[in-house]
Amino acid sequence: MTHTILVVDADAAQCCQTQQVIQDKMGYRTLGAHSGRDVVERFLLRSRPTPDLILMNLLLPDMGGMDVIRAVRRCDAQLPIIVLASQHDMRHAAEAIRAGANDFLLKPVDVERLRLSMHNMLQKLVLGYEVDRLSRHHEGRVQFSDMVGSSALHSEVVAQARRAADSIIPVLIEGESGTGKELLAQAIHGSGSRSGKPFVSIHCAAIKADELDALLYGRAAHGRMAASVGKMTEAQGGTVFLKHVDALLPEQQQRLLSMLKHGEVVPQHASCTSGVDVRVMVSSTASLDAQTRSGQFCVELYDMLSRFPLQLAPLRLRQDDVAELAEHFIRRYSAREGKAFCPLRADAARMLSQYHWPGNIRELRHVMVRAVMQNNDAMITPKLVIQLLLGQVSTTEVTHLPDLSSLYAHYDIEEDSSLNLLAQDGNVRRIHEMEAEMIRYAIRYYKGQMSEVARRLGIGRSTLYRKIQDYNLSQMG
């Protein structure tokens, strides 16, 4: 979600006015407080939402401003604090900085100066979070808090996964592509007794059968082939995560079953076994139960892997999480690219929530990366959202041409439906120009229902797809 600013001012009217300016001009959410006690209780009791930045006056009715700053610092050493003061309070500037404030601004405050100060501090905060996240990822200490979402479906699967973290038995994670199966596995690993130990991820469907065996279990020296240590041994004490476990061949399934039952591996071309201590987690986009029933997957292996099953919901069923995830990606990639954070406008957030996201969280992440790179406004608007989602056509299979009807329901259609046959110079327009204009209008008129657009224009979906690319109609404005 958008960064939240706590405005602290004894004057309720002034506090409300400052909040309004921050919301309207900078796009941040705001909270208000009129006493030092109100501020301190937020951090000591954690009974109310805590902010990402504090903007405060030094003159408060119940506590000295310096005492409030010191109390907050004892609870949170990183939280940005900006102090506002009048000209005659300048003597307190150095003291406020020593107490823990990050900046000191004179009233009346220039809005642009305030925006820049807040942006720089929040940017630094986000970069710090990103560095910490990457460090934890590298060290195998990913936490459940790294998984963004507050919907009932998300909260339920996280609660189940927390119980899995306390165990050492295998875990089966199922869900559509792009739903975050590997991140969930990392969080289970990072929150359990194996945290800080190796977390090794292997894509079973992307590696040839003989190469996968050597990769997993190692290889003894054979002919000109040098010996190699398998990932099961490299991950000693940690976790091995097998993506697309449903792609394993029958003989590979048996080798994995043997390793799980006996805790031993036999390297290729070797005659002796070696013990391993690893936790195995697996994922599948297909139903492993259905594959087992059809005889494609080993029953005994499925029984062992499915002792702790987890099912991740597709993003289209987690509408309440979409805007939160989107702004999470915007913050992350804005910080990485050194760009100003541009929050989602409320109507743009609604559009994103109503889209069906066939590529799930992975698709949302890609769209938000493009939003960060292409946006030139103070906020991300519905117009840019439609451009970006229509632009997905260029990287999507024709059979998955995006249906944007839910988005265009909020997008005004131009009243003028006439098609000009003549160019400004008085000559007849080129056919491709008129065709592009007609397709552009049809997409808006039928509110993004791409199948209906193709049918009404009398062309196939693949032809519509190609023409959208050819005419660069993903940049509709």
* Domains of the chain and CATH, by start: 4-135 (3.40.50.2300), 144-311 (3.40.50.300), 316-475 (1.10.8.60)
Radius of gyration (C-alpha) of the chain in whole angstroms: 28
- The model's pLDDT over 142-158, given as tens digits with 9 standing for 90+, comes to 899 889 999 999 999 99
pLDDT of residue 454: 86
d(CA 52, CA 73): 13
Mean pLDDT of 79-92: 83
Q: How many residues does the chain have?
A: 477
Mean pLDDT of 37-64: 83
Least confidently predicted of 282-296, 353-367, 462-476? 462-476
Confidence of residue 125 (pLDDT cuts 50, 70, 90): confident
- With beta carbons less than 8 A apart as the criterion, state whether 9 and 20 touch: no
CA distances from 188 to 103, 128, 139, 220, 461 (A): 40, 23, 14, 33, 43
First to last CA, the chain: 27
d(CA 100, CA 372): 32
Mean pLDDT of 125-145: 78
Please check the confidence at residue 401 and state whether its pLDDT lies above 60: no
* Closest residue by Cα to residue 53 from 28, 18, 25, 71: 28
Tell me what percent of the residues of the chain surpass a pLDDT of 70.
92
Q: What is the mean pLDDT of the chain?
A: 86
Of 425 and 280, the structure prediction assigns the larger pLDDT to: 280
Q: Between the ranges 61-65, 74-78, 307-311, 396-400, where is the mean pLDDT highest?
A: 307-311
Of 82 and 45, the structure prediction assigns the larger pLDDT to: 82
pLDDT of residue 89: 72
Mean pLDDT of 278-284: 97
- The model's pLDDT over 317-357, given as tens digits with 9 standing for 90+, comes to 999 999 999 988 998 888 788 787 788 888 888 889 988 89
Mean pLDDT of 79-99: 85
* Phi-psi domain of 472 (left: phi exceeds 0; alpha: psi -120 through 50; beta: other): left
